[in-house]
């Protein structure tokens, strides 16, 4: 690891000013669980590390009935699964927060950091896609919002421009008769990278007998986390039953572009996409109907 300058601004304006310097060779430290490993492994070099944990906007975790949930980019996972609004209104987030690394990692790692790391296998992004989240970005040219499904552009790359940073993630208010669920397949019992991850959000209509709205997010099946749009739209208006869910699962398989690597072949991943999509939808439907689904479900 090369020497670098460390700074910890206490305002968003100051952070943006600092990031605009060094010709783009600054890196943001939120939790550091990815950054420190990458610096030590010489994946990249940084002239300056900007610690954003002292910035109020990046530490916000709040809920409003009209504006929905705001998760600051530096909010660690443990705050999310200890927050009553997150637990009661957004259980899909808890599925994700509770399986990122181990308990020590969850004390530091943030949803914002996981999103900005932009790994195809990120565990936070599929469920954020399912919830229809937006990324609040600030930089020298002002603020802008980007749908979470458009944030990642390639493995390890995203839409952030020099001097910009992710301020927060905004999740819409949850509707009645709705539910979300995230789960993943991993080779080991815990603290592993997803072979396939699937998150689903549903709103039910007609006395909870039909799909009114559906959003499906997938991980580790394409160069970036994937919004399975066609699979999601395919079953809107259709009856909630095994055949409908199976149709969505098959469509999700068709939308993905998995690769073969040390964790599994492309064929194995394609098979898993169908299974995990089906189980994510089933879990989301159960929650929409008020049934209990335990958090932190993972398959191995």
User: What is 65-118 written as a DSSP string?
Assistant: TTTEEEEETT-BHHHHHT-HHHHHH-HHHHHHHTTSS-HHHHTT-BHHHHHHHT
For residue 239, the 8-state DSSP code is B
Phi, psi of 168 (to 5 degrees): -160, 170
Contact 129, 149 (CB under 8 A): yes
Query: Distance of alpha carbon 44 from its chain centroid, rounded?
Result: 23
Q: What is the value of pTM for the model shown? A: 0.94
Scored b (16 or more CB within 10 A) or e, 208-243 reads bebbbbbbbbbbbbbebbbbbeebbebbeeeebeee
**Residue that the structure tokens 């990278």 belong to:** 193
- Is 187's pLDDT higher than 90? no
Segment holding 199, helix H or strand E: strand 196-205
Closest C-alpha among 64, 70, 77, 57 to residue 16: 57
CA-to-CA separations, 170 to 71, 193, 300, in angstroms, rounded: 7, 25, 31
Between CA 300 and CA 294 the distance in angstroms is: 16
CA-to-CA separations, 72 to 16, 115, 253, 259, in angstroms, rounded: 16, 12, 33, 33
CA-to-CA separations, 222 to 14, 195, 227, 283, 293, in angstroms, rounded: 36, 11, 10, 23, 28
Q: State both tokens at 27.
A: 């890196």
CA-to-CA separations, 227 to 198, 219, 289, in angstroms, rounded: 10, 9, 24
- Is 300's pLDDT higher than 80? no
Scored b (16 or more CB within 10 A) or e, 258-270 reads beeeebbeeeebb
Per the model's pLDDT, the better-predicted residue between 24 and 198 turns out to be: 198
Query: Distance of alpha carbon 112 from its chain centroid, rounded?
Result: 8
Domains in the chain (CATH in brackets) are 5-51 (3.30.43), 56-171 (3.30.465.10), 178-299 (3.30.390.50)
Q: Supply the pLDDT for residue 189.
A: 66
User: What is 149-166 written as a DSSP string?
Assistant: GGTEEETTEESPPTT-EE
Q: What is the mean pLDDT of the chain?
A: 93
- When pLDDT is averaged across residues 250-255 and rounded to a whole number, the result is 98
- Give the lowest-confidence range in 14-28, 123-137, 252-266: 14-28
- Is 148's pLDDT higher than 60? yes
């Amino acid at each position: 690891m090369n020497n670098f300058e460390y700074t910890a601004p206490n305002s968003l304006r100051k952070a943006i000013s600092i990031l605009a310097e060094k010709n783009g060779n600054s890196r943001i430290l939120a939790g550091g669980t990815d950054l420190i490993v990458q610096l030590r492994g010489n994946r990249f070099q940084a002239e300056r590390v900007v610690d954003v944990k002292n910035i109020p906007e990046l530490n916000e975790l709040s809920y409003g009935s009209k504006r929905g949930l705001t998760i600051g980019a530096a909010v660690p996972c443990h705050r999310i699964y200890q927050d009553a609004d997150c637990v009661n209104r957004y259980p899909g987030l808890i599925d994700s927060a509770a399986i990122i690394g181990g308990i020590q990692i969850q004390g530091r790692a943030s949803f914002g950091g996981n999103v900005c790391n932009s790994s195809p296998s990120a565990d936070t992004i599929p469920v954020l896609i399912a919830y229809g989240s937006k990324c609040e970005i600030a930089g020298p040219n002002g603020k802008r919002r980007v749908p979470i499904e458009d944030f990642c552009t390639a493995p390890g790359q995203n839409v952030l421009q020099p001097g910009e940073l992710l301020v927060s993630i905004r999740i819409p208010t949850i509707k009645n008769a709705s539910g979300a669920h995230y789960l993943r397949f991993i080779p080991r019992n815990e603290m592993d990278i997803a072979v396939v991850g699937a998150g689903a959000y549903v709103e039910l209509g007609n006395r909870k007998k039909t799909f009114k709205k559906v959003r499906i997010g997938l991980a580790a099946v394409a160069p970036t986390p994937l919004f399975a749009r066609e699979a999601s739209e395919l079953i809107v208006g259709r009856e909630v039953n095994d055949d409908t869910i199976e149709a969505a699962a098959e469509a999700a398989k068709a939308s993905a572009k998995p690769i073969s690597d040390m964790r599994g072949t492309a064929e194995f991943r394609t098979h898993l996409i169908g299974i995990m999509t089906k189980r994510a939808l089933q879990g989301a439907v159960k929650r929409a109907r008020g049934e209990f689904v335990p958090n932190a479900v993972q398959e191995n």
